[in-house]
Amino acid sequence: MSRGLAWQVARERAAAAAPAAAIEHVPLHRAGGRVLAADVHTPIPLPHYASSAMDGWAVRGAAPWRLVEGPGIEAGEAVVIVTGGLVPDGADAVLRSEAGRVVDGRLEPVGETGHRDVAERRHIRPAGTEASAGELVLGAGSLVTPPRVALAAATGADRLTVRRRPRVALVLTGDEVVESGVPAPGRVRDSFRLALPAILDELGAEAIAVHRVGDDPAATADAITADRVDLVVTTGGTGGSHADQVRVAVERLGAEVLVPSVAMRPGGPTFLARLPDRLVLGLPGNPLAAVLGLLAIGGPLLGEWTGRTAATMTVVAAEALAGTRGATRLVPVAVGDGGATPTAHLGSGMLRGLAAADAVLVVPEEGVDRGASAAALPLPWPT
């Protein structure tokens, strides 16, 4: 296998391979975590009516006030009101319940606060103070966070127009892989069926099918084309040996190879190819290599596709890290007050190093000095 495309070039190609996002209209309860595909303008002012900020009485004119039922009030009248209640037209202020007293059916202010409530026309939230009717309140491209869902609801929206999540099928290869229990020598317990859908979910995609196939190009090609999906993520079989049949399967399907392999360690055999109706991201079988391949190449692809571009990160290396000639080295690190330190157990076939990491330091060919700043990939799951 050649050394592969340079890190930056491979990532740019992956981002450029993202198709235009499809859109869908989803109910608000399903919109969290999605990216808006259209601006949200509020059709109503926010708040849309003048409301009381306190429990008490809406009053008009000078004290004392005669208590009336409303809805309207005239000078010298007051109406009982609760927090959030509709302030009657013409009301001057809301007198808080603790700042007023009813004597002989007449309401009067009590103490300095009571007089101030009235004199300063307090506790009325006028309509339109947060937004005017027609105003833009959320822009296309924004991630739908909990307060943004609440804001959309306040405008009266029931659905939002968002980018559709790319649909993904997983094709897990390997005759030796078992899915339960303690594996016998020569067998390995599957690392991917549970982890990859969760990571894809964090990257804004949705795994809708999982196939297990043996080391057989025909079965692999069938699995790659089995579902109506936007992206197929395969594991194993990328290495170029006789058993590494995923590349053979993709070749037989006539795919255009966009990224043949990447000059990075680990994860170098990661590839990206395009079929007429779907992309295929091939990840190596070694567990650490596979996850790093997904973050390094699947990350920019899905970032561009979903609009959830991951923020880049800079960390300070707590120790010097040697580079690898002709390749970018990816080192899972724990990030603490003293900087970023490589975690233990970072073999390509291992998982403990990544399980203990907070980020992945990107070590250029020339290495990183102790105390120097270096780029890092954030991990898409909570750490």
Ligand X SMILES: Nc1nc2c(c(=O)[nH]1)N[C@H]1C(S)=C(S)[C@@H](COP(=O)(O)OP(=O)(O)OC[C@H]3O[C@@H](n4cnc5c(N)ncnc54)[C@H](O)[C@@H]3O)O[C@H]1N2
Q: Which of 88, 114, 204, 269 binds ligand X (CB under 6 A)?
A: 269
If binding is defined by CB under 6 A, does position 266 make contact with ligand MOO? yes
What separation, in Å, do the N-terminal and C-terminal C-alpha atoms of the chain show? Answer: 34
157 CB-near residues (< 8 Å, 6+ apart): 28, 40
Q: Which of 131, 144, 152, 177 binds ligand X (CB under 6 A)?
A: 177
The verdict on whether omega for the bond into residue 382 sits within 30 degrees of 0, i.e. cis, is no
Q: Which of 284, 300, 339, 342 binds ligand X (CB under 6 A)?
A: 284
70 binds, among ligand MOO, ligand X, none (CB under 5 to 8 A by kind): none
If binding is defined by CB under 6 A, does position 197 make contact with ligand X? no
Comparison of 185 and 382: residue with beta carbon closer to ligand X: 185
String of contacts with ligand X for each residue 226-265, x by CB under 6 A: ---------xxxxxxx--x---------------------
Comparison of 84 and 214: residue with beta carbon closer to ligand X: 214
If binding is defined by CB under 6 A, does position 268 make contact with ligand MOO? yes
Q: Closest approach of Cβ 362 to ligand X, in Å?
A: 18
Comparison of 50 and 362: residue with beta carbon closer to ligand X: 362
Angle at 62 between CA 58 and CA 64, to 5 degrees: 80
Comparison of 267 and 353: residue with beta carbon closer to ligand MOO: 267
If binding is defined by CB under 6 A, does position 238 make contact with ligand MOO? no
- Amino acid at site 266: P
239 binds, among ligand MOO, ligand X, none (CB under 5 to 8 A by kind): ligand X
Residue 62, exposed/middle/buried by CB under 10 A (0-12, 13-18, 19+)?
A: exposed
The answer to whether the beta carbons of residues 91 and 78 sit under 8 Å apart is: no
Residue 148 sits at φ, ψ, to 5 deg, of: -75, -35
Q: Which of 100, 114, 237, 284 binds ligand MOO (CB under 6 A)?
A: 284
If binding is defined by CB under 6 A, does position 353 make contact with ligand X? no
Distances (CA, A) of 10 to 43, 242, 282, 285, 351: 45, 25, 13, 20, 24
The answer to whether the beta carbons of residues 285 and 237 sit under 8 Å apart is: yes
Stretch that binds ligand X, among 39-47, 138-146, 190-198, 310-318 (CB under 6 A): 190-198
Q: Closest approach of Cβ 262 to ligand MOO, in Å?
A: 9
**Which chain residues interact with ligand MOO by CB under 6 A?**
265-269, 284, 286, 289, 348
**Which chain residues interact with ligand X by CB under 6 A?**
1, 172, 174, 176-177, 188, 190-192, 235-241, 244, 266, 268-269, 284-287, 289, 348-349
